[in-house]
Amino acid sequence: MITTVSNAVGRYGPNPKEVERFLKFAVVGVIGAIIDFGSFNLLRQPFLNLAEQGVFDRFANIFSGASLETASIALGIVTGISFVLALISNFMWNRYWTYPESRSKSKRLQMTQFAAVNAAGFLVRPPAFGYTHQYFGSMVERILPSLGTETAYWLGDNICLAVIVGVVMLWNFFVNRYWTYGDVDINNSPSTEGR
């Protein structure tokens, strides 16, 4: 199906193989998002409970000038964990499915490059989430007051995460395509060295 869509799009301009790679990258991204959101939502409440027990009080003192609450710190940590789990899945899928012809680089080098590209997203993501999730929660609570505060903030947390994931996904595709998987010819000349 992906090949059919890429060939149809390719008739009108873009390289069909690159369209196919982008579509595969997007499917991998959906798998990663399921892992990301699933692990985030599984860990969210336990980490909030730890925050209530004072586990993250030391971190709150470090960021006291930034007025971060321990709940925000806990959720920033959770979003970091869910990101790493999705990162591992995405690398494996992209190496073996999206860019199977990318073998001139060792797996270790590619994983290092992939992780470095994603590190920018990782470094931006937890603080961005920590500083903005309350805004999204209060926005949902204002728009849909019938949800109640807890549900509104849960939905707001997920909307915030979706916005951040979208921005990071665009960065990841373009930088990984031309750096991590730069050994793959635009027109699909396979390279099978260095498996």
Q: What secondary structure does DSSP assign to 46-101, as a single string? A: HHHHHHHTTTTHHHHHHTGGGT--HHHHHHHHHHHHHHHHHHHHHHHHIIIIISTT
- Please report which confidence band the pLDDT of residue 129 belongs to, taking 50, 70 and 90 as the band edges: confident
pTM: 0.67
3 state SS of 187 = coil
Number of residues assigned to the chain: 195
- Please report which confidence band the pLDDT of residue 189 belongs to, taking 50, 70 and 90 as the band edges: very low
Encode pLDDT of 17-28 as tens digits.
888 888 898 899
pLDDT (0 to 100) of residue 9: 58
d(CA 186, CA 67): 48
Positive/negative CA dihedral, 83, 86, 92, 97: negative
pLDDT (0 to 100) of residue 190: 42
Q: What is the mean pLDDT of residues 127-145?
A: 90
- Please report which confidence band the pLDDT of residue 107 belongs to, taking 50, 70 and 90 as the band edges: confident
Least confident of 43-52, 96-105, 137-146: 96-105
Q: Which of 62, 23, 44 is nearest to 161 (CA)?
A: 44
Angle, alpha carbons 170-166-28 (nearest 5°):
75
Least confident of 13-17, 45-49, 171-175: 13-17
Q: What is the mean pLDDT of residues 170-182?
A: 86
Distance, first Cα to last Cα, the chain: 28
- Please report which confidence band the pLDDT of residue 193 belongs to, taking 50, 70 and 90 as the band edges: very low
- Please report which confidence band the pLDDT of residue 93 belongs to, taking 50, 70 and 90 as the band edges: very high
d(CA 37, CA 165): 10
